Amino acid sequence: MIDKLQNYIKETEAFIASTAEELENFRIKYLGKKGILNDLFEDFKNVPRENKKDVGQKINELKNLVQEKINSFKSSFEESTTSKSGIDLTAPADPNKMGTRHPISLVRNEIIDIFNRIGFTISEGPEIEDDWHVFSALNFPEEHPARDMQDTFFIDDASKILLRTHTSSVQVRVMENSKPPIRTISPGRVFRNEAISARAHCIFHQVEGLYIDENVSFADLKQTLMFFAKEMFGEKTQIRLRPSYFPFTEPSAEMDVACNICGGKGCNVCKYTGWLEILGCGMVDPNVLKNCKIDSEKYTGFAFGMGIERIAMLKYGINDLRLYFENDVRFLNQFKSSL
Contact residues for ligand DAH (CB under 6 A)?
166, 168, 208, 246, 249, 280-282, 303-305
Please, what is the minimum distance in Å from the beta carbon of residue 173 to ligand DAH? 13
With CA atoms as reference, report the closest residue to 165 among 128, 114, 212, 115. Answer: 128
- Cβ-based nearer residue to ligand DAH, 55 or 241: 241
Q: Toward ligand DAH, which CB reaches closer, 103 or 282?
A: 282
Nearer to ligand DAH, 12 or 180 (CB): 180
Question: Which among 63, 61, 13, 14 is positioned nearest to 36, based on CA atoms?
Answer: 63
Residues 130 and 309: their CA atoms lie apart, in Å, by 25
Pick 152 or 249: Cβ nearer ligand DAH = 249
Using DSSP, state whether 66 is helix, strand or coil: helix
Q: Given the complex with ligand DAH, which of 23 and 188 has the nearer CB atom?
A: 188
Give dist(CA 311, CA 204) in Å, integer. Answer: 12
Minimal distance, residue 249 CB to ligand DAH, in Å: 4
Spatial separation of the C-alpha atoms in residues 270 and 266, rounded to whole Å? 6
Q: How far is the CB of 166 from ligand DAH (least distance, A)?
A: 3
Of 195, 197, 198, which Cα lies nearest the Cα of 319? 198
Q: 306 by DSSP, 3-state: which?
A: strand
Q: Are 225 and 257 in contact (CB under 8 A)?
A: no
As measured in angstroms, the least distance from the Cβ of 154 to ligand DAH is 18
Positions of E strands within 230-315? 239-246, 249-258, 275-284, 300-307
Closest approach, Cβ 253 to ligand DAH, in A, equals 8
Nearest residue (CB) to ligand DAH, 30 versus 130: 130
State the minimum distance, in angstroms, from the CB of residue 158 to ligand DAH.
25
